[in-house]
A and B are shown apart, each in its own frame.
Chain A
Amino acid sequence: MFLEQLINGITLGSIYAIVALGYTLVFGVLDIINMAHGEIFMFGAFVGLLIVSKAGAPLPVAFLGAIVVTAAMGLLLERFALRPLRTRPGASHLASLISTIGVSILLENVAHKIFGSGNHLFETPFAEISFTIGPVTVYLVQVVILLISLFLMVGLSLWLSRTRAGKALRAAAENLETAGLLGVDTNRMITATVVIASAMGGIAGVLVGMAFNYINNQIGLSMGLKGLAIIIFGGMGSVYGAMAGGLILGLSETFVVAYGSSGYRDAIAFVAIIVILLIKPQGLFGQAPAEARR
């Protein structure tokens, strides 16, 4: 059972990591938590569902559709709920937080209106295929999820470190004003960040559909809260932190259920936050805090 639980944990963890990456990107550049990220992720899952189950299109199309829709949502979010707050004098980070909370409530209930509240079946065409290696059964779906997640994580890291656009984004994350002075189009950078982060949420949504076969309009909330826990644990703004944190959380949750009490599963994420904040507040991979970040 251990190996199977290990695989369960890794699959879960890689999805968590992708979601966390979305949060960490936005926080790194904008210094805010996008509380609507979880709901955007949920929409991605539903778009994927509609494409695969209702339109009968192949999986890659589902990913494409999810990316397009969630990217568009990110665009709208940035334009209407975030940008106006940047130009206002006297608006605090609190305001962005609240604004994104408003968007998340809006999205959660719009999804409820459109999709209803029950569980919806997400059929992956190759869901039944599995390999048996020794005592362990591995599903093709799990392998695909792991591969896609790895690809995303590696791709993102490479993009950030090698390409001009990626470096511009890192510059903006480091210090928005200075980056602007150095010629980076900060507005475009910010928009790009939110769009990319949202698209990653969309991809994660489709992955969740593939992994668990059922999605409902509440997954945004629970995934969102866990994503927050992960980036605090891993270090806000740190890409490696998000990845490591996601995997650790996925594995911890799975093993606590397997070997401990399954009742406390959802609390693990939050216990982890509290522990890390007491020991190393900047997170596993976070930079030492110079002054209080507001």
Chain B
Amino acid sequence: MKRNVRLFAVVACALFAFVFMGAENAKGEAIKAKIGVISYITGQGAAYGEAITNSIKLARDEVNAKGEVLIDLKIEDSSGKQEQALAAAQKLINSEKVVAIIGPTLSNEMFAAGPEANASGVPIMGTSTTAKGIPQIGKFVFRNALPESQAIPAAAGQAVKKYNIKKVALLYGNDDAFTKSGFDTMKEVAEKLKLNIVTIQEFQKGQADYKAQLTKIASLKPDAVFCSALYNEGGVILAQARKMGLKVPFVGGNGFNSPKVIEIAKDAAEGLIVATPWFGEKKDPKVQSFVAKYEKAYGKKPDQFAAQAYDAFHIMTNALKAAGTADRAKLRDALAATKNFQGVLGQFSFDAERDVVMAPNVLIVKGGKFTIFN
């Protein structure tokens, strides 16, 4: 009995302190808010989560330095597993009481965590979740990740025109939601452009050897290969393809547009075509400043995952400023009203369904770096 009373007293004191702290904030100038981040920090895809988390931390430092908004970041690891993403979301929403969540990294995770955030009235924004149907989960679910359905038609269309492509081979990772949905779009685009699909080849994650698939593709002599892969596999595929004499243009999806592809494939990456909202070499002061800052802090160039996360954080804090207070519902409304935000990815707006409105650049790898393709 005594134990219970003591416990109650402690909890009561904690609650009082919390309330008073809140009251304190209302007086100050800066808006103080806790933002949760669910990221793929440990596990196979940790490289992606790392880029995202790094960027968000960088952006947080920038925003806090300015002083109008003070963000306390709560970062949780989901290891790319949806149950962990769900538990992380619950923790952030109910224990940490964040005002909004950025993440999770994978579409799979978002399908589990998104509905929960939506039901709890917490805005959640995916920076890398490009599968179909994500913003449609609910009105609290947003994303600023340019979906394949917008990127691929741009890249493929331009490539087909420039190289007069008639026959195409499709190659994709069939055990990953991201690459699979990229493939779905590629197939649609190829059909729409009335291309002759000579073969469709699949591979699985973690495979180190693509010779069988590539040999088959080479034997059918396509004019180009549409490949939906993440950069880890994509770089290797390019290297092995070039090595065996498959020299035709490769058109890649979202996963390919990372400088890491060039790192992994080196010369083999020449001629790779991708569409991306992120172009690190753009002669834009915002872009260059971000690249410089990121490289200085983390020793490597930022890729699309990093850039999208960076913009996402700024979109979030911008909306927070517009909302005027760290209130979940008001933040959601402010987010939904975001129009023509100028970020490192260019101009950004949410459409009526909280999905991305953004113009992709089509790039080609020339001389070891991404350049504009025209």
Contact = CB atoms under 8 A, between A and B. Distances in A.
B215 interface: yes
The A interface is mostly helix, strand or loop, or mixed, namely helix
A215 interface: yes
B19 interface: no
A208 B208 contact: yes
B264 A218 contact: no
B47 A258 contact: no
Interface string A1-12: 100110010001
Contacts of A112: 42-43, 46
A282 interface: no
Contacts of B45: 117
Contacts of B299: none
Nearest to A212: B208
Interface stretch (A152-160, A229-237, A260-268): A260-268
Interface stretch (B232-240, B278-286, B317-325): B232-240
28 contacts: A4-B215, A5-B212, A112-B42, A112-B43, A112-B46, A116-B46, A117-B43, A117-B46, A117-B47, A121-B266, A137-B244, A208-B208, A213-B240, A214-B235, A214-B264, A215-B208, A219-B208, A257-B213, A257-B216, A258-B215, A258-B216, A262-B212, A262-B213, A263-B174, A263-B202, A265-B203, A265-B204, A266-B204
A208 B236 CA distance: 14
Contacts of A265: 203-204, 212
Nearest to B219: A1
Interface of B: 42-47, 174, 201-209, 211-213, 215-216, 218-219, 232-233, 235-236, 239-240, 244-245, 260, 264, 266
B232 A118 contact: yes
A12 B213 CA distance: 14
A24 interface: no
Interface of A: 1, 4-5, 8, 12, 109, 112, 116-119, 121, 137, 208, 211-216, 218-219, 221-222, 253-254, 257-258, 261-263, 265-266
A262 B206 contact: no
B198 to A, nearest CB: 14
**Most chain-A Cβ atoms within 10 A of its Cβ — which of B42, B45, B47, B206?**
B206
Given A213-B240, A214-B264, A119 B235 contact: yes
